[in-house]
Amino acid sequence: MTQDYDFTELVRASRQYKSDKTAKYKDSSRDRLSKIAKKKIETTMIGALSSIEKNLGFLWGHEDQRDLTPEEQHLKNIYDQIRSEILDKGNSQIRNLESELSQYEVTWLRYHMTLPIANTDTMEDNDGETE
């Protein structure tokens, strides 16, 4: 009877281990997706700001090292406010995304590659005969 109990306990422990491992994998998959999505949103925000600076930065002397005129300072203040709003809205969406993802079970399917295997036993020599 001890052997039956030991085997039953081993099976139970094995199932528990598999269950814990699956749950941990799903958590890490969700965290991975969250991290990737967050980075993509941040990249979009920074890219948008960069485009504004690149194309309109001359209006407030974006890359100049001189003192700004009153008009340029006014435009820079407007840009700084726009920049702040873009970052606040983007960060708010990141928080919304994280909240939304917490309600899902996510399983990363991982990358999958099938490598062809060549049979080297029947390789032909230069004359067309097998070795």
Per-residue pLDDT of 85-97, as tens digits, reads 999 999 999 999 9
Which residue did the predictor score with more confidence, 71 or 64?
Answer: 71
- pLDDT at residue 112, as a whole number: 76
Tokens describing residue 13: 């422990």
List the alpha helices (DSSP H) in the chain.
Answer: 2-56, 70-101
Q: Rounded to an integer, what distance in angstroms lies between the CA atom of residue 11 and that of residue 17?
A: 10
Q: Which SS3 state, helix, strand or coil, does residue 123 take?
A: coil
Q: Name the phi and psi angles at 130, rounded to 5.
A: -80, 150
> CB neighbours (10 Å) of residue 45?
19
Q: Which SS3 state, helix, strand or coil, does residue 125 take?
A: coil
* Residue that has been written with the tokens 């997706």 in this structure: 33
Residue 64 binned pLDDT confidence (cut-offs 50, 70, 90): confident
Residue 127 predicted with pLDDT over 60: no
Residue 40 predicted with pLDDT over 60: yes
Residue 15 predicted with pLDDT over 80: yes
Directed axis angle between helix 70-101 and helix 2-56, to 10°?
Answer: 160
Task: Specify whether the CB–CB gap between 42 and 92 falls below 8 A.
Answer: no
Residue 31 predicted with pLDDT over 70: yes
- pLDDT at residue 16, as a whole number: 93
Residue 6 binned pLDDT confidence (cut-offs 50, 70, 90): confident
Tokens describing residue 95: 């928080």
Residue 131 predicted with pLDDT over 70: no
